Amino acid sequence: MSQETDQVAATVSDDAEVMASVDDADTFIIADITCDDAFVTVPLEDAATLPEWR
């Protein structure tokens, strides 16, 4: 799995509030709650684990 975090980090504002959750036990959601419609979803089974993000 490839993660291009450098490009994303450069475009995120300093006042962004990002949260993650699991919906219906099968969808992983990451959302910026300070911006309308700023979210991404992925099936939970395809989401990276915390050790993979480190």
Write out pLDDT tens, residues 13-25: 677 798 999 998 8
CB-CB contact of 28 with 45 (8 Å): no
* pLDDT above 50 (res 1): no
> What is the residue range of 47's domain?
5-53
Sign of the torsion formed by the C-alpha atoms of 6, 12, 16 and 19 = negative
Q: Quote the pLDDT of residue 40.
A: 94
Which of 36, 39, 38 is CA-nearest to residue 27?
39
Phi, psi of 6 (to 5 degrees): -60, -45
Total count of domains within the chain: 1
Q: Which amino acid is at 18?
A: V
Phi, psi of 37 (to 5 degrees): 60, 30
**Coil, strand or helix at 51:** helix
